[in-house]
């Protein structure tokens, strides 16, 4: 495992291009585009103000930089550095900006969600979509880029509009039986749309592309409901994480629940592997140990040393007492993600912030639990294989695969606190983002990784 | 009185009657008080009695006393104390005999009464103790009753308390329920209010938004604009088309078409997947079915034998299904009937399998249970021990068999000659039989040879006879010639003739015996012990036709031989008288049962001694 040198970064804005060739990162008002392999700067663009959001177009030819404060969007072309485009939303303001899947249209949401403006880069045409709903996830494109589903709110009722992306024609428009629609998400195959209600009510609705209601699922009533939703890459499963600390898996045939994954604070089953990140006493670090794997350069300033241990069951995890009198209590399943091969599901329960649960979807049971020393900031699956990268805001990045688990200290001077991670589309490298720096972590080839994991892979 | 009756002997019942009569008339008598006393009180002292009686009769009132006693006694049914009066005027005389009799009877009665009294008293005592016991019991029971009553009261109290508590709890529950209901109502009302408020707020918000929208958008904000260096081509290379009213409709239709196409594709894909899955599942089912059938069919006979009606019918179904199977597999249709058939048959077989497995389980558990009792546990150690033990036993058995064989052989060797030992050996060994068979065939060949020889012999004899005839004729003619012309060398010639005739005569004499001897001797005579062997062989292998045929021939031969023996017996009787008797005995045995054994015994008559031995053996 090799690490690049550390580059500057602001606002955690660092993204690989969809084709994997480039890496865009922002430093204040500058946009830097580097070659993803050599990390040499290819282009350098200067925006009018601090960049708050960047997004690659699907064909990796353009990058949009949103400057929300000024209500501006600046678009840069990679092929023609001199080409530029500036979209000014004026007094309407700007809160969100995104590409349409064709990479030739930009959807800007104005302040107060007054409307969505669709700007075309091909023609001078501008389309407006009125009444977009201000919600968690109100815009979703199908994976093939043909359709856009949009949550709307009119006359105190929720609607979903399905538009054809090629000409922004309205295809379907239907009301959803929700109190307060919180989010919509297309299934990866683009034929089923999941819509869920706000956290006040547990309700998830499934609509066909042609607007028919396929099914409704409600696990319980009178309690806080859905917190997170994720489709499996095969569109076969829909995982719904809720405030009761459970993940419910729905199937795509009957849309009924297959199983329910609870997140208990104690783990008794000896079949479940519990990796516990344990602090190591400093004197031991000086000796050359086989594990953790040798680093490029041992950080002399790294305050804490730690490594994974396989804890013997029963293990009780560190739980957080939620403050019941405050809004957005830290309970429930805050994040969940399927591995690209559909085999695993990673979840995080907000009441046990230090743990990541990994579930075996083939056997529908808990496979492993990773307990970190500090709260898990984010986790992301390798887009190519069942490999999970986890960061906790510390100086380490953690990788899990079915073979085992490793924690890697990010080398470099000073503390490099990994706040977020971002996989290269090929899964060969990983961008580690800290508050104002980023570096790339190049993972070894299959064999190298195999040996690296092999050290702890004996128990799986 | 009743109690008294039960105590007294049945013989006393007549007296008791009297007594009852007496008691009814007690008022009349002056001594009634006393008599009652006697009856009621315990044993009176004899002295008192005496003094009492002395007071009763004095010198003066003898007559009255006697008459009173007489009266009293007659009322009791005793004969009168007076003699039979002849006349009314005459004074009645006291009959001493009657008095004595009466006294005696009274005494007897008294004794009886005393006995009865005693009995009654003991009874009374007994009853008294019984009574005490019962009273004790009663007291105890009363106590128990009291305690149980107290307990009951305590329990009732507790029950009451519990009921009270329960009522309270019910009340609490009700209250809680009410509370919950109230809270739910509150929640619901709050929710509706919240929703209402939300809607109101949202409307306001919407109005504001609308207003803002108008303000922001209608101002023709110059700022809202896009600066592009030059427009880029579409990603797909197409040019953006203009929207007109006409094209919009067609666009819409096209979009719809595309959407449905996508949906259709998805459904088709899913259907294909489901079909594939179904096909695989069907395959699995079919395979399962096949395996089940193959698994269950070997047991077909067994349950049939058991005549288990349910399994029997189901198994016949299996057979039908087995027939259907080939058809179904070739069909591979998802037709409902087929599906139903398949599932039904699978279900049926599954049930059979289940019941079978359960049965097996039961058996296993039973065996386990029994195993614990009979120390027949199938643990490995025990198993090994058992096998070891069994092997040892086998070894022992083998040894025993060997020793037995040896003993038998020894016994036979000491008891009989070679023939019998061979016979016994034959009895044991099959291989020997085979060998004997071969021997028999060899004998047969020998017999054939013998026959041939005999034929040549007879031919030779015939020839010899012819030659002799010719020679005789020649000699006759020669003698005639000699006789006719008597010459000087007469004597020498005659000597020659004598010699010759002696030679020829002996041969002539022997010839018939030679002819007859082989015929009777050959079947049994030539090899020692062979006839016995054959008899044994025929006995053990009656099924094979060759041997039976052979046996028939054998029996014929033996009959013939025995007859010949009988015929020849007188000739040989002189040197061996005992042997003749034996043969006669044997003959009678042979003739009685018209069976093979008889034949055999007949055939082996020459070896009579051996035969007797053989008969004794089994």
> Do residues A15 and A24 touch, judged by C-beta distance below 8 A?
yes
Q: Is residue A423 part of a domain?
A: no
- Which segment, A37-51, A169-183, B141-155, is predicted with the most confidence on average? B141-155
What's the gap in Å between the CA of B399 and the closest CA on chain A? 60
Between the alpha carbon of residue A155 and those of residues A162, A170, A184, B207, B313, the distances in Å are 19, 19, 19, 10, 70
Please report the residues numbered 114 through 143 in chain A whose beta carbons come closer than 8 angstroms to any beta carbon of chain B.
114-115, 119-126
Q: Are residues A69 and A142 in the same domain?
A: no
Closest to A122 (Cβ–Cβ): which among B217, B240, B259?
A: B240
Q: Is residue A409 part of a domain?
A: no
Please report the residues numbered 245 through 284 in chain B whose beta carbons come closer than 8 angstroms to any beta carbon of chain A.
248, 251-252, 255-256, 258-260, 262-263, 266, 274
DSSP label at residue B291:
H
Task: List the CATH number of the domain containing A148.
Answer: 2.130.10.10
Interface test with B, best of A59, A70, A82, A90 (most B CBs within 10 A): A90
- CB of A164 within 8 Å of a chain B CB? The answer is yes
Residue scoring higher pLDDT (A1 or A215): A215
Beta strands A30-35; A41-46: pairing state = antiparallel
> Do residues B520 and B564 touch, judged by C-beta distance below 8 A?
yes
> Do residues A137 and A129 touch, judged by C-beta distance below 8 A?
no
Q: Are residues A48 and A62 in the same domain?
A: yes
Q: Are residues A11 and A87 in the same domain?
A: yes
What's the gap in Å between the CA of B221 and the closest CA on chain A? 7
Percent of chain A surpassing pLDDT 70: 91
The reply to whether residue B217 touches residue A92, judged by beta carbons under 8 angstroms, is yes
Closest to A167 (Cβ–Cβ): which among B221, B236, B251?
A: B251
The reply to whether residue A92 touches residue B216, judged by beta carbons under 8 angstroms, is yes
**Residue A16: which pLDDT band, with cuts at 50, 70 and 90?**
very high
Q: Is residue B122 part of a domain?
A: yes
Q: Are residues A58 and A158 in the same domain?
A: no
Residue in B with minimal Cα distance to A101: B235
Ranges of chain B whose pLDDT falls below 70: 1-55, 84-92, 218-223, 234-249, 298-337, 368-379, 414-429, 487-618
- CB of A218 within 8 Å of a chain B CB? The answer is no
- CB of A89 within 8 Å of a chain B CB? The answer is yes
Q: What is the pLDDT of residue A33?
A: 93
Q: Is residue A68 part of a domain?
A: yes
- CB of B212 within 8 Å of a chain A CB? The answer is yes
Q: Is residue B421 part of a domain?
A: no
Q: Are residues A156 and A217 in the same domain?
A: yes
Q: Which two tokens stand for residue B374?
A: 């009979």
Closest to A123 (Cβ–Cβ): which among B231, B248, B255?
A: B231
To which residue do tokens 């344990």 refer? A278
Residue in B with minimal Cα distance to A144: B262
The reply to whether residue B262 touches residue A114, judged by beta carbons under 8 angstroms, is no
Residue in A with minimal Cα distance to B200: A156
- Chain A residue numbers with beta carbons less than 8 Å from the beta carbon of B236 are 102
Q: Is residue A96 part of a domain?
A: yes
- Chain A residue numbers with beta carbons less than 8 Å from the beta carbon of B193 are none
Closest to A121 (Cβ–Cβ): which among B223, B231, B274?
A: B231
- CB of A316 within 8 Å of a chain B CB? The answer is no
Q: Which two tokens stand for residue B393?
A: 């036993």
The reply to whether residue A146 touches residue B252, judged by beta carbons under 8 angstroms, is no
- Chain B residue numbers with beta carbons less than 8 Å from the beta carbon of A121 are 228, 231-232
- Number of Cβ within 10 Å of residue B440's Cβ equals 18
Q: Are residues A2 and A125 in the same domain?
A: yes
Average pLDDT over residues A89-107: 88
- CB of A420 within 8 Å of a chain B CB? The answer is no
Mean pLDDT of chain A: 85
Q: Is residue A27 part of a domain?
A: yes
Q: How many Å apart are CA A207 and CA A214, to the nearest integer?
A: 5
Please report the residues numbered 536 through 565 in chain B whose beta carbons come closer than 8 angstroms to any beta carbon of chain A.
none
* Number of domains comprising chain A: 2
- Is it true that the peptide bond before A314 is cis, omega within 30 degrees of 0? yes
- CB of B617 within 8 Å of a chain A CB? The answer is no
What's the gap in Å between the CA of B222 and the closest CA on chain A? 8
Judge residue B335's burial from the number of C-beta atoms within 10 Å of its C-beta, 0-12 exposed, 13-18 middle, 19 or more buried: exposed
Radius of gyration over every alpha carbon of chain A, rounded to an integer in angstroms: 23
The reply to whether residue A209 touches residue B263, judged by beta carbons under 8 angstroms, is yes
Q: Are residues A102 and A147 in the same domain?
A: no
- Chain B residue numbers with beta carbons less than 8 Å from the beta carbon of A120 are 240
Interface test with B, best of A72, A113, A120, A133 (most B CBs within 10 A): A120
Q: Is residue B403 part of a domain?
A: no
Closest to A164 (Cβ–Cβ): which among B222, B224, B255?
A: B255
Q: Are residues A52 and A160 in the same domain?
A: no
* Number of domains comprising chain B: 1
Q: Is residue A179 part of a domain?
A: yes
Digit-coded pLDDT (tens) for A357-407 = 999 999 898 999 999 888 999 999 999 989 999 999 888 889 999 988 888
Q: Which two tokens stand for residue A338?
A: 């399927």
Closest to A123 (Cβ–Cβ): which among B195, B229, B240?
A: B240
- Is it true that the peptide bond before A292 is cis, omega within 30 degrees of 0? yes
The reply to whether residue B233 touches residue A122, judged by beta carbons under 8 angstroms, is yes
**DSSP-derived 3-state class of residue A129:** strand
Q: Is residue B133 part of a domain?
A: yes
Q: Are residues A43 and A77 in the same domain?
A: yes
Q: Is residue B126 part of a domain?
A: yes
- Chain B residue numbers with beta carbons less than 8 Å from the beta carbon of A191 are 262-263, 266
| Nearest by Cα to A193 from A229, A218, A165, A167 | A229
Residue scoring higher pLDDT (B446 or A287): B446
- CB of B198 within 8 Å of a chain A CB? The answer is yes
The reply to whether residue A171 touches residue B234, judged by beta carbons under 8 angstroms, is no
For residue A99, give its domain range.
Answer: 1-130
For residue B145, give its domain range.
Answer: 64-83+91-219
Q: Is residue A447 part of a domain?
A: no
Q: What is the pLDDT of residue A121?
A: 87
What's the gap in Å between the CA of B239 and the closest CA on chain A? 8
| Nearest by Cα to A206 from A166, A235, A244, A171 | A235
Digit-coded pLDDT (tens) for A295-347 = 443 443 444 567 888 888 788 888 888 777 787 788 889 999 999 999 999 99
> Do residues B223 and A91 touch, judged by C-beta distance below 8 A?
yes
Q: How many Å apart are CA B157 and CA A295, to the nearest integer?
A: 80
DSSP label at residue B244:
-
Closest to B262 (Cβ–Cβ): which among A59, A91, A191?
A: A191
Q: Is residue B138 part of a domain?
A: yes
Q: How many Å apart are CA B524 and CA B519, to the nearest integer?
A: 10
Digit-coded pLDDT (tens) for A242-284 = 998 999 999 988 899 999 999 988 888 888 889 988 877 554 4
- Chain A residue numbers with beta carbons less than 8 Å from the beta carbon of B234 are 102, 104, 122
Of A227, A262, A297, which marks where a domain is finished?
Answer: A262
| Nearest by Cα to A335 from A186, A440, A230, A201 | A230
Of A83, A109, A130, which marks where a domain is finished?
Answer: A130
Q: What is the pLDDT of residue A446?
A: 52
- Chain A residue numbers with beta carbons less than 8 Å from the beta carbon of B231 are 121-124
The reply to whether residue A92 touches residue B229, judged by beta carbons under 8 angstroms, is no
Digit-coded pLDDT (tens) for B460-506 = 888 888 888 888 888 888 888 877 777 555 455 444 444 444 444 44
Q: Is residue A384 part of a domain?
A: no
What φ, ψ does residue A444 adopt, rounded to 5°? -65, 170
| Nearest by Cα to B580 from B595, B589, B570, B591 | B570
Closest to A210 (Cβ–Cβ): which among B187, B222, B259?
A: B259
Q: How many Å apart are CA B449 and CA B444, to the nearest integer?
A: 9
């Amino acid at each position: 495992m090799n690490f690049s040198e550390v580059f500057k970064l602001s606002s955690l804005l660092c993204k690989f291009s969809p084709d994997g060739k480039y890496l865009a990162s922002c430093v204040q008002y500058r946009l830097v585009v580097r070659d993803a392999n050599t990390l040499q700067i290819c282009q350098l663009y200067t925006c009018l103000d601090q960049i708050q959001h960047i997004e690659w177009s699907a064909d990796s030819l353009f990058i949009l930089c949103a400057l929300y404060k000024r209500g501006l969007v600046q678009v840069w072309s990679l092929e023609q550095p001199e080409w530029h485009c500036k979209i000014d939303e004026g007094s309407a303001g700007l809160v969100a900006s995104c590409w349409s899947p064709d990479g030739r249209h930009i959807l800007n949401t104005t302040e107060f969600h007054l409307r969505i403006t669709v700007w075309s880069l091909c023609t001078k045409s501008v389309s407006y979509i009125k009444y977009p709903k201000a919600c968690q996830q109100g815009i979703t494109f199908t994976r093939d880029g043909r359709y856009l589903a949009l949550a709307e709110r009119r006359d105190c009722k929720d609607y979903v509009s399905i538009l054809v992306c090629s000409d922004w024609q309205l295809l379907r428009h239907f009301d959803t039986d929700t109190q307060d629609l919180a989010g919509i998400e297309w299934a990866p195959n683009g034929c089923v749309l999941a819509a869920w209600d706000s956290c006040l009510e547990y309700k998830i609705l499934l609509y066909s592309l042609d607007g028919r209601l396929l099914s409704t699922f409600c696990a319980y009533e009178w309690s806080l409901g859905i917190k997170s939703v994720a489709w499996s890459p095969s569109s076969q499963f829909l995982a719904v994480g809720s405030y009761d600390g459970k993940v419910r898996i729905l199937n795509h045939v009957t849309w009924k629940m297959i199983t329910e994954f609870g997140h208990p604070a104690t783990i008794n089953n000896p079949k479940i592997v519990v990796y516990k990140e344990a602090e190591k006493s400093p004197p031991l670090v000086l000796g050359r140990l086989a594990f953790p794997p040798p680093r490029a350069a041992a950080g002399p300033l790294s305050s804490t040393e730690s490594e994974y241990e396989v804890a013997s069951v029963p293990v009780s995890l560190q739980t957080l007492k939620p403050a019941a009198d405050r809004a957005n209590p830290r309970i429930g399943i805050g994040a969940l993600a399927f591995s690209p091969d559909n085999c695993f599901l990673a979840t995080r329960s907000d009441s046990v912030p230090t743990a990541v649960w990994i579930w075996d979807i083939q056997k529908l049971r808990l496979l492993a639990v990773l307990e970190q020393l500090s709260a898990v900031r984010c986790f992301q699956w390798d887009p190519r294989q069942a490999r999970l990268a986890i960061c906790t805001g510390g100086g380490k990045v953690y990788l899990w695969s079915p073979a085992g688990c490793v924690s890697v200290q990010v080398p470099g001077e000073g503390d490099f606190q990994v706040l977020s991670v971002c996989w290269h589309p090929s899964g060969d490298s990983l961008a580690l983002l800290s508050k104002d720096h980023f570096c790339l972590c190049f993972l070894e080839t299959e064999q190298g990784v195999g040996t690296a994991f092999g050290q702890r892979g004996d128990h799986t | 009185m009743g109690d008294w009756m039960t105590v007294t002997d049945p013989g006393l019942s007549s007296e008791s009657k009297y007594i009852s009569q007496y008691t009814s008339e007690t008022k009349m008598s002056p001594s009634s008080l006393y008599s009652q006393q006697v009856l009621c009180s315990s044993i009176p002292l004899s002295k008192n009695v005496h003094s009492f009686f002395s007071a009763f009769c004095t010198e003066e009132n003898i007559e009255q006393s006697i008459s009173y006693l007489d009266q009293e006694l007659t009322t009791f049914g005793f004969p009168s104390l007076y003699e039979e009066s002849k006349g009314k005027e005459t004074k009645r005389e006291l009959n001493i005999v009657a008095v004595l009799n009466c006294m005696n009877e009274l005494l007897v009665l008294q004794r009886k009464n005393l006995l009865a009294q005693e009995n009654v008293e003991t009874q009374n005592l007994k009853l008294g103790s019984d009574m005490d016991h019962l009273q004790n019991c009663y007291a105890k029971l009363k106590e128990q009753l009291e305690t149980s009553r107290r307990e009951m009261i305590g329990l009732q109290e507790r029950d009451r308390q519990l009921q009270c508590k329960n009522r309270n709890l019910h009340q609490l529950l009700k209250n809680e329920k009410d509370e919950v209901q109230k809270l739910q109502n509150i929640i619901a009302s709050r929710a509706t209010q919240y929703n209402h408020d939300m809607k109101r707020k949202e409307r306001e918000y919407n109005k504001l938004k609308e207003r803002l929208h108008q303000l922001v958008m209608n101002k023709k904000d110059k700022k809202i604009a896009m600066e592009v260096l030059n427009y880029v081509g579409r990603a797909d290379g197409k040019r953006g088309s203009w929207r007109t009213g006409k094209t919009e409709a067609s666009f819409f239709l096209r979009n719809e078409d595309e959407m449905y196409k996508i949906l259709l594709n998805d459904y088709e894909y899913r259907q294909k997947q489901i079909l594939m899955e179904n096909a695989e599942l069907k395959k699995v089912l079919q395979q399962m079915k096949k395996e089940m059938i193959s698994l269950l069919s070997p047991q077909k006979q067994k349950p049939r034998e058991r005549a288990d009606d349910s399994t029997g019918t189901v198994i016949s179904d299996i057979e039908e299904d087995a027939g259907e199977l080939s058809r179904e597999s070739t069909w591979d249709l998802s037709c409902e009937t087929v599906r139903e058939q398949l599932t039904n048959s699978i279900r049926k077989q599954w049930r059979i399998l289940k019941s079978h497995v359960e049965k097996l389980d039961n058996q296993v558990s039973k065996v386990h249970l029994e195993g614990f009792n009979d120390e027949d546990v199938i643990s490995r150690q025990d198993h090994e021990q058992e096998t070891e033990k069994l092997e040892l036993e086998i070894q022992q058995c083998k040894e025993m068999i060997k020793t037995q064989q040896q003993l038998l052989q020894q016994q036979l060797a000491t008891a009989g000659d070679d023939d019998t030992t061979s016979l016994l050996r034959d009895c044991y060994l099959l291989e020997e039989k085979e060998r004997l068979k071969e021997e028999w065939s060899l004998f047969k060949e020998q017999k054939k040879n013998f026959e041939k020889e005999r034929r040549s012999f007879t031919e030779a004899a015939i020839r010899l006879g012819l030659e002799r005839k010719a020679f005789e004729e020649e000699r006759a003619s020669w003698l005639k010639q000699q006789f006719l012309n008597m010459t000087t060398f007469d004597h020498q010639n005659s000597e020659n003739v004598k010699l010759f005739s002696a030679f020829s005569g002996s041969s002539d004499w022997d010839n018939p015996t030679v002819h007859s001897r082989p015929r009777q001797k050959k079947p049994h005579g030539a090899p020692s012990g062979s006839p016995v062997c054959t008899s044994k062989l025929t006995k053990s292998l009656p099924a094979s036709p060759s041997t039976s045929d052979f046996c028939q021939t054998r029996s014929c031969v033996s009959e013939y031989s025995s007859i010949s023996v009988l015929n020849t017996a007188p000739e040989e009787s002189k040197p061996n008288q005992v042997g003749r008797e034996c043969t006669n005995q044997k003959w009678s045995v042979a003739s009685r049962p018209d069976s093979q054994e008889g034949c055999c015994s007949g055939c082996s008559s020459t070896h009579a001694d051996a035969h007797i031995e053989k008969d004794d053996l089994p």
